[in-house]
Structure 1
Amino acid sequence: MRKLSKKSRITAAVAGVALVAVGGGAAYAYWTTTGSGNGSAANSSGGGTVTLHATFDAGLAPGNAVSVAYTADNATTTGTVVGALSATVTTSDAGCLPAWFDVTAVTSNTLVAANTTGTSVGSGTLTFNDSGTVNQDACKSATVTVNVSSQ
């Protein structure tokens, strides 16, 4: 191996210092760099539609009342809250008047988790009012349905 001359050693030393200075300057610039930018993404539509159910015992007769259980099924991938419930009655026989029935719906503002079924969201009472003066026999073979919705 050949020995370096004094001039070559000085040149190599200056080149080394210059390389360190340039490298140090790049590192300094990297660490003190500023910038700006932005990004965006669409949110999930969330709050999907749930299916509400009302269940109560059979055998309702004039003057009697039964408890109603309200449940919800959520087939979406996002949980949602079921708020105020409202319920109405329909019947399968024109002679069995829905006006003879009263139904309540107590709201619980319940979170219905994603991909669940049968989550309790409220309760109420279904009352078959006794008209006292009108024959209500048409309701004996009628199907009484409680329809429930949420806002």
Structure 2
Amino acid sequence: MRKFSKKGKAYAAAATVALVAASGGAAYAYWTTTGNGSGTAANSAGGGTVTLHATFAAGLAPGNSTSVAYTADNASNTDTVVGALTATVSTSDPTHCLASWFTVTASTSTSPVAHNSTGTSVGSGTLTFLNDAASQDSCKSATVTVTVGSL
């Protein structure tokens, strides 16, 4: 076998590189084409339902009022909005301590409630124990409940 000179080795290396480049270039040949496609995924079903709370001070007496704070808990993984609030009053003795002796208001604007949050303020109002000509002794120590809902 014949030995290559330095110059011959350089030519052989250059030829090898050229051969690899030429054959590698063939590997990058391609066809042009057109295409289209799409993908789909369903959105969340929504924020679900928030839990609303009404909080007010104890010890209400005839002719007095107290502030009511309305808050919301959102256990879902989606932010949501609480709209207009509605509030009603009931008592632990509805036959003798009449709900009609009380009024409650609920004012709110569109209130955002972040996902996985508790105690977000969504409104306020006033609970009033009205004076009545009849004895309201039956309301002494009665429990007053404010039920709040959202439209």
Could you tell me the TM-score, scaled by structure 2's length? 0.79
Percent of residue pairs bearing the same amino acid type: 67
Matched residue, 1:144:
144
Question: Which letter does structure 1 place at the counterpart of 2:52?
Answer: L
Provide closer, same or farther for how the CA distance between residues 110 and 23 of structure 1 changes in structure 2, counting only shifts above 3 A.
Answer: same
Matched residue, 1:103:
104
User: In the alignment, does 2:48 pair up with 1:51?
Assistant: no
Provide closer, same or farther for how the CA distance between residues 90 and 20 of structure 1 changes in structure 2, counting only shifts above 3 A.
Answer: same
1:47 CA drift (Å): 2.0
Matched residue, 2:122:
121
Question: Which letter does structure 2 place at the counterpart of 1:110?
Answer: S
Encode CA deviations 1:39-63: one digit per residue, 9 max, x unaligned.
1111111221111000001111111
Contact 2:47 2:77 survives alignment (8 Å): no
Matched position secondary structure for 1:107: coil
Question: Which letter does structure 2 place at the counterpart of 1:60?
Answer: L
Matched residue, 1:38:
38
Cα distance in 2 between the residues matched to 1:139 and 1:23:
92
Question: Which letter does structure 1 place at the counterpart of 2:46?
Answer: G
Flag structure 1 segments of 5+ consecutive residues without an equivalent: 3-15
Encode CA deviations 1:63-89: one digit per residue, 9 max, x unaligned.
111000000111111111111100000
Deviates more, 1:138-147 or 1:106-115: 106-115
Matched residue, 1:75:
75
Cα distance in 2 between the residues matched to 1:88 and 1:146:
6
Contact 2:86 2:150 survives alignment (8 Å): yes
Flag structure 2 segments of 5+ consecutive residues without an equivalent: 3-19
Cα distance in 2 between the residues matched to 1:91 and 1:48:
30
Cα distance in 2 between the residues matched to 1:119 and 1:61:
29
Could you tell me the TM-score, scaled by structure 1's length? 0.79
Runs (4 or more) in structure 1 with deviation over 2 Å come to: 18-25
